[in-house]
Structure 1
Amino acid sequence: MATQTSRYAISATVRLPYPEAVERTREELAREGFGVLTEIDVAATLKKKLDVDFRPYVILGACNPGMAHRALSAEPDIGLLLPCNVVVRAGEREGTSEVLAMDPEVALSLADNPEVAPVAKAVGEQLRRVVDRVAGSAPA
């Protein structure tokens, strides 16, 4: 299931082809109350701007409005750290993908505001559930 692959990333390798992993990630984000505000197709952008090939890779800018409101109410500048980025990229092995979410406890700790910490913790728990459910969505 989800692991902490870097100080700021919650991730899992899933047994789903890339398009299915993107779809499942969107579904699980919605299930946790997140909407996708932005989507960056990194591979297409790199091809268009630099004419380089890159594995399929998308950055989803996810936002849970209720949690965002709580964080913004406690710390108006926290908008600089929102929304939560979720990455889906094609895995190293065929038929696999990697799903990563930013760890909001790490990112929002920059605010050094004790009122933001519980929001960051709650959002982190939601994002871990998203990654875990996407990872568990395919047959073993």
Structure 2
Amino acid sequence: MFHYTVETGKSMDEAIQSLEVSLKEEKFGVLWQFDIEETLKKKGFNFEQPYKILEVCNPKVANSILTENQLIGYFLPCKIVVYQDAETKKTKMGLPKPTALIEMINEESLMDIATEIENRLISCIDKSV
């Protein structure tokens, strides 16, 4: 499976606030928060599902992995989505797994770094549930 997704009893705002705290503890910063619902409405589309994408980065790791392979930049920054499920109306959080993305580059030497980042980001999500 290319992603890791969990459900939480928290509102989207509560989940994002908790997630930001967990990310900071792991030395990840939120670079940008993209509100898809708001953006599509501004463009004239009737998208009624709360859906946000957080772009997160650990500068030390980004520097290290980009030094090894510039193609990694295609996957940066890491993304974590927080949205209200259209059917259940429950808040969900998840991310594309860095290990799944690294497989596309087919460079085994980067898999350890991808695994470490994946585990750290999943831990942040799990702490935020």
* Contact 1:46 1:54 (C-alpha < 8 Å) held by counterparts: no
Match of 1:38 in 2: 32
* Number of aligned residue pairs: 128
Match of 1:74 in 2: 68
- Cα shift at 1:93: 4.2
List alignment gaps of at least 5 residues for structure 1. Answer: 1-6, 136-140
List alignment gaps of at least 5 residues for structure 2. Answer: none
Matched letter for residue 67 of structure 1: V
Q: Distance in 2 between matches of 1:53 and 1:78?
A: 32
> Which one of 15, 19, 28 corresponds to residue 21 of structure 1?
15
Matched letter for residue 114 of structure 1: E
> Is the deviation greater in 85-94 or in 36-45?
85-94
- Cα shift at 1:51: 3.0
SS in structure 2 at match of 1:88: strand
Q: With structure 2 as the length reference, what TM-score do the two structures score?
A: 0.91
Q: What fraction of aligned residue pairs are identical, expressed as a percent?
A: 27
The residue correspondences of 1:1-140 to structure 2 (distance < 5 A) are 7-91=1-85, 92-93=87-88, 96-135=90-129
Higher helix share: 2
- Cα shift at 1:134: 1.0
State the Cα deviation string for residues 35-74 of structure 1 (Å, max 9, x = none).
1112210000111113313221110111111221221111
RMSD: 1.4
